[in-house]
Amino acid sequence: MRVFVLIFNANTDNEGIHTIRIGDRKKILMFESQDDALRFALLLEAQDFLTPTVELIDDEEIKEFCESADYDWELVRENSDLAIPPEINVKQTEWQSEAENKDTGGNTLDSKQIPQDEPELSDSELDKIRRQLEGLL
């Protein structure tokens, strides 16, 4: 079965997949619906998280990756309750040492390096995102 996942820095050497940290475990969300994956990506963006790309991937490939990385996975079924990202996003990514990463939960990236100096969004950009999110309701 083909599913949609969220990828950061897609098609680069620094590509990473979005994970959610629950305690000391990490989980990858696999969306049946592209619309649900796009909504989740917009919610991440609205939380000032990096903007992911929604990519179509075979679910077996994700499950194999999860098994090799000791991650969990969850299938978000189409027409199910809307998946909402945790309110806490990690400030540090996997490429930094665990001692530096003081967050205990939330969104994270499985990636080598993501720049931490992201420019802030202008008011007009925030208004545009807000309108997009309101349009999803």
CA 29, CA 108: separation in Å to the nearest integer?
12
**pLDDT value for 132:** 73
Q: 11-20, 106-115, 116-125: lowest mean pLDDT where?
A: 106-115
* Domain carrying residue 84: 2-136
* Inter-residue contact 111 to 96 (CB < 8 Å): no
Whether 30 contacts 64, CB under 8 Å: no
Pick 131 or 4 by higher pLDDT: 4
Q: What is the reported pTM?
A: 0.62
Q: Which position has the higher pLDDT, 130 or 2? A: 2
| pLDDT for 125 beyond 60 | yes
Nearest to 70 by CA among 18, 111, 114, 24: 24
Give the list of residues 6+ apart from residue 39 with CB closer than 8 angstroms, or none.
82, 136
Q: What share of the chain in percent tops pLDDT 90?
A: 34
Residue 6 above 60 pLDDT? yes
Selected residue with higher pLDDT from 127 and 107: 127
Q: How many domains does the chain have?
A: 1
